Structure 1
Amino acid sequence: MRLGYFSMPLHPAGRKWSETLREDREAVLLADRLGYYDAFIGEHLTDRHENITNSLVFLATLIPETTQIRLATGTTNLSQQHPVLVAANSAMFDHLSDGRFILGVSPGALPSDAEALGILDQDRNEMFAEAIDVITAIWDSEPPYSLTRQGGRFNVTTEKTLDLELGVGILPKPLQQPRPEIVGTVVAPFSKGVIAMGTRNFHPLSANFLLPQWVATHWPNYVQGKESVGETANTEDWRVARTVFVNDDPAVAEAYGRTDPRSPYRFYYEKMLTKMRKIGRLELFKSRRDQPDDEVTLDSVVDQLVITGTPDSVAEQLLAFREQTGDFGELVYAGLDWVDPDLARRSMELMAEEVMPRVNAG
């Protein structure tokens, strides 16, 4: 099983933006040195806590300072920019990174981002579906293009301006052929979107804030999608994110990972719980769909979703988690705010050097 990294770190308000950006960069640089396979970086325009506004721009700063880690948008929110921009900029990034690029995609879930862009009342899932069709078609086709759809939002062609001799009217293609890996984050139980990923050969990444029983619903749907197009699903293509803190001292692990009021893990899930309650998605944190809302508390969420302990304990918990979900190809470590930088770094080190060897031996 591979080890990856995913960051939507939820920094506390009041920290300097430049400081948190440096910290987020340092985490990816550390992951590269430790041999993590890839790093997914989230983006939001209007969230003071999740304050990376463009994952591709952020990742571009890491290209010259990393050597092996694959750099992934986590995600590019496709309702928020024209797919021609996504296709062209992603293709250039793929060349700049020497083929270390992964395109992570989603519609964009934050309502305040949508309101700021004037698309709050529009069907962002529909925009997402059309945008991904345009992006892949651009990479698959040649100019002058003829990417139009009846009633579609994005009609892409350079028929009037194409000049092959001058070299204009030609959109760039990525270095990786036929295209970079495309990964979709899955945030809902029994997601039908995973079926569509299977039909398109996109790869799923199950979110870290889903209970194990909901994560387990994703793989059967992906298999269904692959089988519908006559293909066989490979568990190597399934990534599962988890919120993990590892320390040599079990008391430190319990405090920093769960119980200390200053714990970044408590802070993260306090904000996530508040957001999901506000937008009516509290079911993500329910152990059963008919569970009363008042039973979903911060303590219950932290207890169920934070895996913490010594390397031996964390490895045992991850193996038990895998028993619930079935096999998957990559465990994605969720990066949070570095309240204590030494503890945060040590956790990433222990995860790579002690936990994962135990898991892979188990």
Structure 2
Amino acid sequence: MSDIQLRHGIFLAPYHPIGESPTTLLRRDIEYCKLWEDLGYNEVWVGEHHSGGMEIIASPELFIAAAAEATTRIRFGTGVISLPYHNPLMVANRIAQLDHQTQGRVSFGFGPGLLMGDAHMQAIEPKLTRNRMLEALDVIIRLLKGEEVTETSEWYTLQNARAHLLPYTRPLPEIAVASAGTPSGGKAAGKYGASMLCVAASDSGGFNVLDTNWQIACETAAEYGNTMDRRNLRLVAPIHIAETREQAFKNVEWGLDEWGDYYELVSPNPFKAKGKELPKKLVESKRAVIGTPDDAIEMIERMQGKQGEFGVFLAQHVDWADPAATRKSYELYARYVMPHFAKTNANRRATQDWMIEQNTNFQDRRKTASDAAFAQHEAEQSEKKAHRKAGE
């Protein structure tokens, strides 16, 4: 029997309608963090994007600092900091500071950067980003460990660089690498003993290599003397649920098309579907859940069947439905999906089943006890009458 307890969290890219006020949306995201904490979610991962229009958080560190002040328990992760966009000393200092401000409630997620628009505006060739990510990570880890670094690369120069603060979490905060379809994420995770954040777990390309990339990570880890831990393996997929599938499909009419248009711009595997065909295609391809809590359970169990056990399922936050229906979706997930995997109600069900099995026996015993009580009452009444007559 496994000792891995599935945890639950949110992947907050975020995807937000372009017509709404970004001020309102950012405040709403902080309110969502409070809601997720109240509902029992374990963690929230926050993205970094600089173009495209929908994904409006440019600095996950800034957002996490604010959200951490509005919450007390839930953990946060940078999901992810695009390392080629930043001097590694600046990243190390920001992560160390954030680790102190949250008192250890932060994980450092990193990646090469996803949006071509982000890289283009900085004149960075996409083919360079993965190597630069690894260069930066190596330096960041050394800095967070307290080392002094003097190093020159083609894109940064450090001289006598030292992190201003050592982390609150010793020896280091959790480090997590974004993994999609290529083996590079698994290799980086294995080399540095990092957690894996599978951001395209339900995409056909990402799903098909879940077990392969994990194996690559484990083999690479062994080469470097590290061990991969499935408890820190996270899989991401978009979910919107309601009481019925029909209601869920109706709910996503609110914002799914706008998300679909954006997805076509940024994804290597766009769906090329609109209107009622888009939710149908998302569901049929198993890319997303638009349905009921049972459908969400089925998706996660399908991932477990492919991946093996993993530590955290992250529901990708998408503004497919209006805020009220979106909150309802998270509530339903907490009410029905979380307890299913935690087996919270196993004893309750067992007790109820046992009561059903014993029902005839218990009814007979209850009737016997009831009949005995009436008989005793009648006997007592008869005895009282006899005493009264004797007294006359």
Which TM class, normalised by the smaller chain length? Answer: 0.7 to 0.9
Q: Does 1:233 align with 2:228?
A: yes
The alpha carbon displacement at 1:111 in A equals 1.9
Q: Does 1:307 align with 2:310?
A: no
Q: Give the structure-2-normalised TM-score.
A: 0.77
Q: 1:191 to 1:197 in 2, by over 3 A?
A: same
Tell me which amino acid in the other structure corresponds to 2:179: V
SS in 1 for 2:144: helix
Q: Does 1:71 align with 2:64?
A: no
The alpha carbon displacement at 1:338 in A equals 6.3
Q: Give the structure-1-normalised TM-score.
A: 0.83
1:7 paired residue number: 12
Of structures 1 and 2, the one scoring higher in RCO (CA 8 A, sep 6+) is: 1
The alpha carbon displacement at 1:263 in A equals 4.2
The alpha carbon displacement at 1:126 in A equals 2.1
SS in 1 for 2:20: coil
| Equivalent-residue separation in structure 2 for 1:152 and 1:179 (angstroms) | 27
Q: Is the 8 Å Cα contact of residues 134 and 147 (structure 1) preserved in structure 2? A: no
| Equivalent-residue separation in structure 2 for 1:155 and 1:338 (angstroms) | 44
Structure in which a larger fraction of residues adopt helix: 2
- Map 1:128-139 onto structure 2 (within 5 A): 128-139=133-144
Q: 1:218 to 1:353 in 2, by over 3 A?
A: farther
Indicate which of 116, 122, 126 corresponds to 1:117: 122
| Equivalent-residue separation in structure 2 for 1:335 and 1:17 (angstroms) | 16
The alpha carbon displacement at 1:234 in A equals 2.2
Higher mean C-alpha deviation, range 309-318 or range 31-40:
309-318
Q: Does 1:198 align with 2:190?
A: yes
Q: After superposition, what is the alpha-carbon deviation per residue over 1:305-326, rounded to whole angstroms, capped at 9, x for unaligned?
A: 1113222332233223321222
Structure (1 or 2) with the larger CA radius of gyration: 2
Q: 1:328 to 1:267 in 2, by over 3 A?
A: farther
Q: Does 1:26 align with 2:38?
A: no
SS in 1 for 2:240: strand
- Map 1:42-81 onto structure 2 (within 5 A): 42-81=47-86
Indicate which of 339, 348, 366 corresponds to 1:357: 339
Tell me which amino acid in the other structure corresponds to 1:335: H
Q: 1:196 to 1:33 in 2, by over 3 A?
A: same
Higher mean C-alpha deviation, range 117-126 or range 94-103:
117-126
| Equivalent-residue separation in structure 2 for 1:81 and 1:242 (angstroms) | 28
SS in 2 for 1:98: coil
Indicate which of 262, 267, 289 corresponds to 1:271: 262
The alpha carbon displacement at 1:170 in A equals 6.0
Report how many residues are paired.
331
Tell me which amino acid in the other structure corresponds to 1:133: D
Q: 1:221 to 1:256 in 2, by over 3 A?
A: farther
Q: 1:62 to 1:198 in 2, by over 3 A?
A: same
2:169 paired residue number: 176
Q: 1:173 to 1:248 in 2, by over 3 A?
A: same
Q: 1:238 to 1:121 in 2, by over 3 A?
A: closer
| Equivalent-residue separation in structure 2 for 1:121 and 1:244 (angstroms) | 30
| Identical counterparts, % of pairs | 27
The alpha carbon displacement at 1:107 in A equals 1.4
The alpha carbon displacement at 1:302 in A equals 4.7
Unaligned runs of 5+ in 2: 1-5, 347-392
1:157 paired residue number: 159
Q: Does 1:221 align with 2:213?
A: no
Q: After superposition, what is the alpha-carbon deviation per residue over 1:113-166, rounded to whole angstroms, capped at 9, x for unaligned?
A: 122223247712222111111110111234xx23325x554342338xxxxxxx
Indicate which of 227, 244, 247 corresponds to 2:239: 244
Indicate which of 151, 159, 162 corresponds to 1:148: 151
1:162 paired residue number: none
Higher mean C-alpha deviation, range 221-230 or range 10-19:
221-230
The alpha carbon displacement at 1:174 in A equals 0.8
Higher mean C-alpha deviation, range 308-317 or range 342-351:
308-317
Q: 1:231 to 1:79 in 2, by over 3 A?
A: closer
Higher mean C-alpha deviation, range 309-318 or range 13-22:
309-318
Q: Is the 8 Å Cα contact of residues 269 and 302 (structure 1) preserved in structure 2? A: no
Q: After superposition, what is the alpha-carbon deviation per residue over 1:37-57, rounded to whole angstroms, capped at 9, x for unaligned?
A: 111111111221111111111
Q: After superposition, what is the alpha-carbon deviation per residue over 1:149-207, rounded to whole angstroms, capped at 9, x for unaligned?
A: 5x554342338xxxxxxxxx76211100111001111122x423312211211111111
Q: Is the 8 Å Cα contact of residues 289 and 295 (structure 2) preserved in structure 1? A: no
1:94 paired residue number: 99
The alpha carbon displacement at 1:5 in A equals 0.8
| Equivalent-residue separation in structure 2 for 1:358 and 1:349 (angstroms) | 14
| Equivalent-residue separation in structure 1 for 2:66 and 2:134 (angstroms) | 29
Q: After superposition, what is the alpha-carbon deviation per residue over 1:267-319, rounded to whole angstroms, capped at 9, x for unaligned?
A: 4344223422xxxx23x87xxxxxxx99xx84534532111322233223322
Q: 1:310 to 1:152 in 2, by over 3 A?
A: same
| Equivalent-residue separation in structure 2 for 1:193 and 1:201 (angstroms) | 12
| Equivalent-residue separation in structure 2 for 1:171 and 1:347 (angstroms) | 43
Higher mean C-alpha deviation, range 267-276 or range 74-83:
267-276
